[in-house]
Amino acid sequence: MAIGLIIIGDEIMSGKRSDQHFPNVVQILKERGLQLDWARYLGDDPDRIVSVLKESFATPDIVFCCGGIGSTPDDHTRRCVSIAVGKPLELHPEAKIKIVERIAETAKDPNHIDYDSPDNIRRLQMGEYPSGSKILPNPVNRIPGFSYGTHYFVPGFPQMAKAMIEWALDTYHQSLFHRTEYAEKSVVVYGAVEAKMTPLMEKIEGLFPAIRVFSLPHMGNTRLSNYVELGVKGHPEKLDEAFSMLVAGLDEIGAKYQLGDK
């Protein structure tokens, strides 16, 4: 079971807003001993959203989808999920209660509320999910998100999405927390050409199936400010042995490197 992230919104694709969902989700998962396996960014194109959702629903993955669950014309996610799973939209009874509570909280005169007004009807539409969905509580403004299977749909507002994703993980997936032991070690190699280190990296991955080698180049303004963070990551049992081989290999090719922080 992989963990995926779908981020929806023309404002993200155009650069009008900077995405905060990706770093938030990475951190949320890291705190629980999990990691993100894939991510997709989509604009407000219903056909493309449906296509991507059909693809992800065909997997057993845990998927978090941020954005597009409001009630304005550019909010397509709820309808797209309905099409992708082949289930009709219906007003969820628990969502209705939460939305009515929110309407009462924000009403100018709580004693005279027209729940049939166009504005309130649109608000209630935010509680329409594909049949069989569950609600995701929203601690910020009560308007819930929803889940269908192991897919979780949250608002595009990062402060709401973060709390709701944490709740979904803590409620439904605690059994996955910290199940995989993981560690990493790295060195900073100065003036290195990655091609010269590639055979060493391939050798280590071939000898240690539970270990992956990573190479993260940094391009500075001068030769001295160029460096590569080269390291190994994976199961702690074999990490030290793989790291020792990495350092020995760097010595063999005469690489200049520094252990620890840059």
Torsion of CA 3, 163, 21, 67, to 10 degrees: 90
Is the domain of 209 the same as that of 189? yes
Is the domain of 197 the same as that of 244? yes
Is the domain of 148 the same as that of 211? no
Is the domain of 92 the same as that of 167? yes
pLDDT tens by residue, 3-38: 999 999 999 999 999 999 999 999 999 999 999 999
Structural domain that includes position 44: 3-176
Residue 195: predicted pLDDT: 82
Report the distance separating Cα 136 and Cα 98, nearest Å: 11
Count of structural domains, the chain? 2
- Region 189-215 average pLDDT: 91
Helix, strand, coil percent content, the chain, rounded in steps of 5: 40, 25, 35
Within 10 Å of residue 64's Cβ, how many Cβ atoms?
Answer: 28
Is the domain of 188 the same as that of 171? no
Is the domain of 204 the same as that of 102? no
Question: pTM (2 decimals)?
Answer: 0.84
Is the domain of 215 the same as that of 103? no
pLDDT tens by residue, 61-89: 999 999 999 999 999 999 999 999 999 99
Is the domain of 152 the same as that of 78? yes
φ and ψ of 151, to 5 deg: -105, 135
pLDDT beyond 60 at 261: no
- Mean of all residue pLDDT scores within the chain: 93
pLDDT tens by residue, 90-116: 999 999 999 999 999 888 888 888 988
Is the domain of 169 the same as that of 228? no
pLDDT tens by residue, 141-181: 999 999 999 999 999 999 999 999 999 999 999 999 998 88
Of 134, 140, 230, 169, nearest in space to 33 by CA? 169
Is the domain of 149 the same as that of 105? yes
Residue partners of 124: CB distance under 8 A and separation at least 6: 91, 96, 99, 100, 115
CATH number of the domain encompassing residue 46? 3.40.980.10
Report the distance separating Cα 138 and Cα 96, nearest Å: 13
Within 10 Å of residue 29's Cβ, how many Cβ atoms?
Answer: 21
Whose tokens are 């049939």? That residue is 116
Is the domain of 248 the same as that of 135? no
Residue 229: predicted pLDDT: 93
φ and ψ of 39, to 5 deg: -145, 145
pLDDT beyond 70 at 222: no
pLDDT tens by residue, 174-201: 999 998 888 899 999 987 677 889 999 9
Is the domain of 108 the same as that of 222? no
